[in-house]
C-alpha cells in the first residue's frame, strides 16, 4: 500500500511539473525595466535597449540598440512573451512593435509615483508581484529618507548640443527634485516648451532666477556639454550672474542615474541630489 501511495505521489508531482507555466520571456525598450526584471526571480530578460549608446548589453541578452529606434529584426529574434516600452516614446510604434508577436505593455515614466506604480503592475503581469512590491517599497523609502530638512533653490537644466532647456515639474526629474526638497526655481518660468516638460528660456530670464544649485543633465557628449556650461557661467558669459548666485556650485549629473528615468534606482538618484544640496557652500556670500 505504501508503495502505491509513493507511486501516485510521484505521478502527481510529475504532472504538476509539466503543467507549471514556463518563465515569462521579457524584452524591453527601457533600460530601467531591464534592471527591474533582473532583480526578480521567475521572469527571464531576453532582450533590451542600451543604457549608453556605445555599451551594448552583455550576452546572452539580445541588443535592441537605441531606445528611440530599436531594432525590429533583433526583437523578432528574441521570441519574447512580453515587450515593455514607454507610452509617449513607443506608442507611435505600436503597430510595428506588435509584429514581434509579444504582448506590448506601454508604461508611463513622467513622474516618480507613475513610474513605480507602472513597475508594480508589470510585476503582476510577470507573476512576480510580491518581489516587485518589495523593490518598489524600498525605493519609496529611500526617496523619503533623502528629503532635505531645509529647501534649497535649484535650477534643473537639460543640455543638448546647441541648447540648454529648463526642466519643469512635469518630468520624472522635476518631480524627484521636488520630493527631495529642492525648490525648482525654473519650473514656472515662461518660455517655449520644446518637449513636454522641457522649456527653452531666454538668458535674461535665467539669470534672474538666482538658484543656489545648478544641475545639468547632459544629453550627448558630457565633456562637451560641461565645457559649454562652464563657458556660459564664466566671467563675461551670459550666465555669469547664475554662477554668482549658485553658492552650492554647478554640477553635471551622472548619466547612469539621470540621462533617463532610473526606475528602481530613483532612491539612489534622490540620495545623490541630497548629497549635492547639503555639501559645503562653494561660494560663501
**Positions of E strands within the chain:** 25-28, 44-48, 62-63, 82-86, 103-107, 152-160, 163-167, 182-184, 192-195, 198-200, 213-218, 250-252
Two domains, one topology: 22-144 and 148-278: yes
DSSP string over 29-55? S-HHHHHHHHTSSS-EEEEE--SBTTB
pLDDT of residue 18: 45
Domain ranges for the chain: 22-144, 148-278
Is residue 8 predicted with pLDDT exceeding 70? no
- Note the pLDDT tens digit of each residue in 78-133: 999 999 999 999 999 999 999 999 999 999 999 999 999 999 999 999 999 999 99
CATH number of 22-144: 3.40.50.1980
Which CATH superfamily is 148-278 part of?
Answer: Nitrogenase molybdenum iron protein domain (3.40.50.1980)
- Note the pLDDT tens digit of each residue in 126-171: 999 999 999 999 999 999 999 999 999 999 999 987 789 999 999 9
Q: Tally Cβ neighbours within 10 Å of residue 269.
A: 27
- SS3 assignment, position 169: coil
Amino acid at each position: 500500500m505504501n508503495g502505491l501511495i509513493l507511486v501516485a505521489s510521484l505521478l502527481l508531482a510529475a504532472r504538476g511539473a509539466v503543467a507549471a507555466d514556463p518563465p515569462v520571456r521579457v524584452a524591453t525598450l527601457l533600460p530601467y525595466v531591464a534592471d527591474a526584471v533582473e532583480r526578480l526571480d521567475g521572469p527571464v530578460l531576453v532582450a533590451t535597449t542600451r543604457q549608453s549608446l556605445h555599451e551594448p548589453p552583455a550576452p546572452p541578452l539580445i541588443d535592441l540598440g537605441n531606445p528611440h529606434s530599436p531594432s525590429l529584426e533583433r526583437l523578432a529574434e528574441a521570441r519574447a512573451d512580453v515587450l515593455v516600452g514607454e507610452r509617449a516614446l513607443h506608442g507611435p510604434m505600436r503597430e510595428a512593435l506588435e509584429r514581434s508577436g509579444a504582448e506590448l505593455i506601454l508604461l508611463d515614466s513622467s513622474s516618480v509615483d507613475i513610474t513605480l506604480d507602472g513597475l508594480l503592475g508589470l510585476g503582476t503581469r510577470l507573476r512576480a508581484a510580491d518581489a516587485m512590491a518589495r523593490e518598489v517599497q524600498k525605493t519609496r523609502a529611500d526617496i523619503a529618507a533623502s528629503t532635505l530638512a531645509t529647501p534649497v533653490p535649484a535650477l534643473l537644466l537639460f543640455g543638448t548640443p546647441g541648447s540648454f532647456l529648463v526642466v519643469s515639474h512635469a518630468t520624472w526629474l522635476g518631480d524627484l527634485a521636488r520630493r527631495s526638497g529642492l525648490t525648482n526655481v525654473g519650473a514656472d518660468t515662461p518660455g517655449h516648451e520644446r518637449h513636454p516638460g522641457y522649456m527653452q528660456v531666454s538668458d535674461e530670464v535665467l539669470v534672474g532666477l538666482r538658484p543656489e544649485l545648478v544641475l545639468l543633465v547632459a544629453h550627448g557628449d558630457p565633456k562637451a556639454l560641461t565645457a559649454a556650461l562652464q563657458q556660459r557661467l564664466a566671467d563675461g558669459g551670459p550666465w555669469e550672474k547664475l554662477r554668482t548666485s549658485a553658492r552650492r556650485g554647478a554640477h553635471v549629473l551622472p548619466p547612469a542615474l539621470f540621462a533617463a528615468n532610473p526606475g528602481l534606482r530613483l532612491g539612489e538618484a534622490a540620495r545623490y541630489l541630497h548629497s549635492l544640496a547639503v555639501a559645503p557652500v562653494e561660494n560663501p556670500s
